[in-house]
Structure 1
Amino acid sequence: MIPAARRAVPGAGALPTGTGYAPCHHGEILQGVFLDGGVRRPGLVTLPMAGPGSRAEFVRRPGTAPQSITVVPAGRHKAARAAALAVTECAHAAGLPPCGGDLRLTGDIPVGLGMGSSTSDVIAALRAVADSYAVRMAPGTVARLAVQAETASDPLMLDDGRPVLFAQREGRVLEVLGPALPPLVVVGCTLGGGAPVDTLSLPPDEVHDSDVRAWERLRGLLRRAVSTGDAALVGEVATASARRGQLVLGHPEFDALCAVARRAGAVGVQIAHSGAVAGVLFDPAATALRRRVRRCLHGLRAHGIPTTRTFTTSPALTAKELPDGPARRRGDRPAGPDTARRPARMPAL
C-alpha cells in the first residue's frame, strides 16, 4: 500500500470521494487443478475481453463506523464486504481513522454468465476506497482482499496483459505463461439459454491423478502456444478444457457448438466453466476470415444458440477490421444481487 499524491476535492466541506474501475473477462481458456511445488491447487486462465466493466464511486463519511457501508444497487454484498476490508487497509496506510461510506456501482457486465461480474464489482470497489484515501493498492493486496470478500477471485486486478495461471481461491499467480496471448477473434454466444449459473451450487469435482496429469499437459501446451504465438494450439487447449468442463456443466448445445466451430474453420471453442458464456475462436490471420465468422454466426443461430458479440483479444486489430465491426451496447448492467435470478444478456452485435 503506497500513499499517493492527494487530490484536491472541489467545494468547501465536500466529502472525500474516490473512483475505481475493473474490466471483465469472457470465461476461461483453461481451468482445472494444477501442481504447485507438488501441491494440487485449483487454477484458471481467463480469456480477456475489452469493453464491459464495473465502475465504483466511494464517498467516505468521517465519524461513521468502518463497517457502515451502504451500497447501490442494493444486494451487491460482495462489493460491500470488499469496501469494508479496504477501509481498514487504506485508512491505516493513510494515517487516518477508518470510517464508513457510500458505495455506488455501475457497469455493463451481464450477471451470472461467468464473466467475472462479481470480481469486477469487488475490484472496482477496492480501488474506489483506495482512491478516496489517496493510496495506491498493489495488485497482490487487491487479490488478497478480493478473495476475502468473495471466497474466490478472477485475476482482473492484473493490468499488464500477460496471461497467467491464477489460483482463484488463494488470489495469487501460479505461473506467468508468457508476454501475451496470440491474437484471437472471438464470436461470443451463450449456452443453456443464457441462464445464470450459481457457482456455489455446482457439485465439487472428484479429482484423480489422471485428471491432474491431463490438466498439466494442457498447461504445458498453453505455455507453448503463448511462446510461439500459435492461435490453433490455444484453440486446442481451450476446447479440451471446455470439454472437461461439460462433466459438471452439461450444456446440451455443447456438441453443436463444437460442430459449428469445425464447419466454420475455427481453431476451437471456449466456455465459462462457472457460467453460460462461450466463444468460438478464430485465428485472425486465417484466409477468408469474414466468411468464416459469418458461417459461424449463421450456424449458431440455426442451432438456436444466441450470439452476443464478436471481439478481438488483440489491441492491434481495430474494431473496423473485425469481421462484423464493433459491438453495439444495449444499456447498463441490470441491477441485482451477486447472482442474478433471471437470465442476463450480453450487449448484442
Structure 2
Amino acid sequence: MYASGFAIGHHGEILQGVFRGEDSRLHRGLVTLPFPPRYSIAVAEPIDGIEVLVRPKHKTKSGAAARLLLGGIGYTGRGIKVTVNSNIPEGFGLGSSTTDVVATIRATARLFGLQLEASTIFRLAVRAEVASDGTMFTGNPRLICPREGTVLERFESRIPEFSLISVNVAPNHPVDTLAHPPTRYTGDEIREFGDLRKLLRRALENGSLGELGEMATRSAVINQRYLPQPHFDSLLELSQSTNAFGLQVAHSGRMVGMFLDPRLEKEDKSVEHIQRELLRLNLSSEFFRSGQTSV
C-alpha cells in the first residue's frame, strides 16, 4: 500500500515586496511564476515501527510536513516512510523545498484518503518551512504572504502566455533563503510595490505581456538592491535592446527569466541572438515555450 503526490516548482517571482492588506497592516508578499518543467514526486508508505522517515535524509522539511499532517489528524499508528524525487537543484530560487513539502503533504494525505484544500497545504508548508511559496495554488495567480500562510489577493485573470529564456546567473553560489533576514524596504519602495500590484492586476486583466514584463522588471530592480544578482545590469540592457518584454528574478535565488513573445520558437533568430549574447557573459541558458510553463 502506498500513495504518491506531485508538485510543480517555480521560476522565482514576478513580484515580491511589502503590501497593505485589508486589515490596513503591511505584509510581506510575493507572486510566484509557476514552472512545471521542475517538479517533485513523493511516495508515502507505511512501515514497521512508529517513526516518520524521509528519504533522502536531508529533506528534513518534508519530514516536518509529514509529521505536522499526521499530528493534526491525531494519527498514532504504524510508521510512515516518504521517498522524495525531484529534478530541482537546491538553492537557486526554483522552489525546491516548497515543491518537496507540497508533494510530501499530498502523498501523505492521499495515503489516509484525505482531500486537502490548497489553503490547508499552504499553512502546513509555512509551518514546516518557515517561509513557503504559493505553488500549491493552481489557476489564477495569488499574492501570498510566505511567512503567514495567508493570501492577500487572488487575481481575476491568469498570467498571459509567454516564452522564457531561463538563466542561472551564479550556478556555483546557491542562496540559503532563511540565512537572509527579511528585507527592510524603504517607504518609497513600499509605495512603489503598491503601484506594481495595481499594474499586475491591469496586466492580467488586459492579458498584456508588456505590462507584466514592465512590472516584473521594476520589482526585480528594487530587490537587486538587497540581494544583488551577478550580471543583472547586462541582462537588463540585453532585455531592453532586444524584443524581450522584461525580466523576472528569483528574489531569494539565482534564476533570472527573460520574457519573450509566446509565438517564438527556440530556433528563431531573436532567441539565438539573445542566447549568443548570454554566452559572451559565460552564462548558459534554456528556452521554454509558454505551454511548458503554464498550469
Band the TM-score falls in, shorter-chain normalisation: over 0.9
Q: Which stretches in structure 1 are left out of the alignment for 5+ residues? A: 1-15, 318-349
The question of 1:267 aligning with 2:245 is answered yes
Show the counterpart of 1:142. 121
1:82, 1:146 within 8 Å by CA — same for their partners in 2?
Answer: yes
Out of 148, 151, 154, the residue aligned to residue 170 of structure 1 is: 148
Cα drift, residue 288 of structure 1? 11
RMSD: 2.1
Measure the CA separation in 2 of the matches of 1:121 and 1:227: 32
Q: Which stretches in structure 2 are left out of the alignment for 5+ residues? A: none
Measure the CA separation in 2 of the matches of 1:232 and 1:287: 19
Out of 104, 117, 142, the residue aligned to residue 83 of structure 2 is: 104
1:194, 1:277 within 8 Å by CA — same for their partners in 2?
Answer: no
Out of 24, 31, 38, the residue aligned to residue 9 of structure 2 is: 24
Letter paired with 1:29: I
Cα drift, residue 286 of structure 1? 7.6
Normalised by the size of structure 1, how large is the TM-score?
0.79
The question of 1:304 aligning with 2:282 is answered yes
The question of 1:201 aligning with 2:187 is answered no
Letter paired with 2:163: V
2:250, 2:256 within 8 Å by CA — same for their partners in 1?
Answer: yes
The residue matched to 2:147 in structure 1 has which SS?
A: coil
2:84, 2:100 within 8 Å by CA — same for their partners in 1?
Answer: yes
Instruction: Identify the range of structure 1 (196-205 vs 52-61) with the bigger mean alpha-carbon deviation.
Output: 196-205
Question: Which protein shows a greater Rg?
Answer: 1
Letter paired with 2:189: D
2:166, 2:257 within 8 Å by CA — same for their partners in 1?
Answer: yes
The 5-angstrom pairing of residues 1-349 of structure 1 reads: 16-37=1-22, 38-61=24-47, 64-65=49-50, 68-89=51-72, 91-92=73-74, 97-159=76-138, 161-284=139-262, 290-307=268-285, 309-314=286-291
Distance 1:301 1:295, change over 3 A: same
The residue matched to 1:212 in structure 2 has which SS?
A: helix
Measure the CA separation in 2 of the matches of 1:219 and 1:194: 33
Distance 1:316 1:147, change over 3 A: closer
Letter paired with 2:167: C
Measure the CA separation in 2 of the matches of 1:289 and 1:178: 34
Aligned residue pairs, count? 293
Measure the CA separation in 2 of the matches of 1:109 and 1:288: 22
Instruction: Identify the range of structure 1 (98-107 vs 25-34) with the bigger mean alpha-carbon deviation.
Output: 98-107
1:185, 1:313 within 8 Å by CA — same for their partners in 2?
Answer: yes
